[in-house]
Structure 1
Amino acid sequence: MTFSFDSAAYGASAEALIGSADLCELGPGIQNRSATPALRALDDSLLFGGKSVSDRDMAASCISGLWLLHNFLDASHTISQDIHTTTGSYWHGIMHRREPDFSNAKYWFRRVGDHEIFPSLNAAAAEIARNSTTDDRSQFLTKQRAWDPFAFIDLCELATLGKTDETLPRSIAQLEWQMLFDFCYRQAIGAS
């Protein structure tokens, strides 16, 4: 099954915030200050459009992810560090990967373990890599049998240092954000 991301599936508030964001950065990026009022206004009621929230940690994870999407790393960090789940650790790890604090990102990904989105992410990343120009440093994406967040952190580090092209890792980081946000949103409202 191919993953398809439709920002309209997450309600008007999320759709507007997702639609106004650029492709995920590998580094800190420039904060999208025009999104600040909408991000500050987010709460469960606004984000989930009146749908009943059954998992508050997953709802908070969605909000953390939206702050991160708009390059507000500190705001995302403040939220994710208080989510004591594997998914909270995942958002926390992405934030540190983008700081960039690669060793700290690896610490948080060790806490993630084997996340539920990893199989789908691995398959989709391999497909993107097969349809992209890869070099020796990114070729592993086409061959790995399971998602390796540590190898991806290393690839992101190489890209931020200019040692490999950033196009492929940015595309995969975008896909990762979308898959993780989708997972969190569905879990927050108890949808499968």
Structure 2
Amino acid sequence: MRSDYDEMGLGREAVLAHLEQGKPLNGLMTSPGATAALVVDSIAAVALDAHGGLGPTLIRHAPPRPKLLNALTAGSLAGLFPGASRRSLLALSAGLLQVHDFWEESHSAAQEADDLGEKHFSAYWHGIAHRREPDAGNASYWFRRVGRHAIFADLREEAVAIFKAAGDDRSGGRLMGGGGWDPYEMIKLCTSARPGTPVEALARRLQRAEMHLLLVANADALQGD
């Protein structure tokens, strides 16, 4: 990952304790070198580094840390990104809520952001939500709305390394045929992988990379909103 809580002088438990106690997100900005984007990255890392680095499961389940909910809302994120539009804050909230398994709240945030005209991230988070539901048809609809996303090039680059490490050329060929990234093949991979198999582990590593890249891009865009 680009950065983590340790780079800001905060350990995992310190970040979790701060958020679960209901303290404002901008309280994490007091750490040396902290920026709003780094704080977002650190919060995401708690979920993305879980399960031995595999990150969230492919299929939704109950949030492991329910006390984090209030810290991940658009209203809370406004303290990190003053002046940002509500639709942009909702899109970022949808991402953080999704990686921390607040599925319903993430879905609602993505839908509201889309209703308000957010064009860059909400549809992608909406697609991920339905992929994890799992509802392949609905996920495909939202990825058609996404089109060719800006993170696809970086995602393909990370995926090459993941496939190489796994020794799985067949799945890589389907996902990255033609030198691009195929989100519909990703839907097939994630919704068909059986729990506990090497294929599931591979798909989760890809999903982790995808979620991280999307959150980084989302937070960086908010800083210039």
Interval containing the TM-score (normalised by the shorter chain):
0.7 to 0.9
Distance change (3 Å), C-alpha of 1:17 and 1:68: same
Q: Tell me the distance in 2 between the aligned counterparts of 1:5 and 1:11.
A: 9
TM-score normalised by length of structure 2: 0.71
Task: Give yes or no for contact 1:53–1:59 (8 Å, CA) kept in 2.
Answer: no
Q: Tell me the distance in 1 between the aligned counterparts of 2:38 and 2:154.
A: 24
Aligned to 2:45: 18
Question: Any residues of structure 2 matched to 1:131-170 within 5 Å, and which?
Answer: 131-134=165-168, 136-141=170-175, 143-160=177-194, 165-170=199-204
Aligned to 1:28: 60
Distance change (3 Å), C-alpha of 1:154 and 1:163: farther
Cα deviation per residue 1:65-112 (whole Å; 9 max; x = unaligned)? 111111111110010011222411100000000000011100000000
Task: Note the C-alpha offset of 1:63.
Answer: 1.2
SS at match of 2:193: helix
Aligned to 1:123: 157
Task: Note the C-alpha offset of 1:42.
Answer: 3.9
Distance change (3 Å), C-alpha of 1:62 and 1:15: same
Aligned to 2:205: 171
Q: Tell me the distance in 1 between the aligned counterparts of 2:219 and 2:130.
A: 22
Greater shift in the superposed pair: 73-82 or 163-172:
163-172
Task: Note the C-alpha offset of 1:52.
Answer: 3.5
Task: Note the C-alpha offset of 1:147.
Answer: 1.0
Q: Tell me the distance in 2 between the aligned counterparts of 1:42 and 1:156.
A: 25
Q: Which protein is bigger by CA-based radius of gyration?
A: 2
SS at match of 2:224: coil
1:66 aligns with 2:96: yes
Indicate the percent of aligned positions where both proteins have the same amino acid: 30
Q: Which structure's residues are more often helix, by fraction? A: 2
Task: Note the C-alpha offset of 1:39.
Answer: 2.4
Q: Tell me the distance in 1 between the aligned counterparts of 2:87 and 2:124.
A: 12
Aligned to 1:6: 3
Distance change (3 Å), C-alpha of 1:160 and 1:107: farther
Task: Note the C-alpha offset of 1:40.
Answer: 1.1
Q: Tell me the distance in 1 between the aligned counterparts of 2:196 and 2:71.
A: 37
Number of paired residues?
186
Instruction: List gaps (5 residues or longer) in structure 2.
Output: 6-34
- RMSD of Structure 2 on Structure 1 (CA): 2.7
Structure 1 stretches of 4+ with a deviation exceeding 6 A read 161-164
1:76 aligns with 2:106: yes
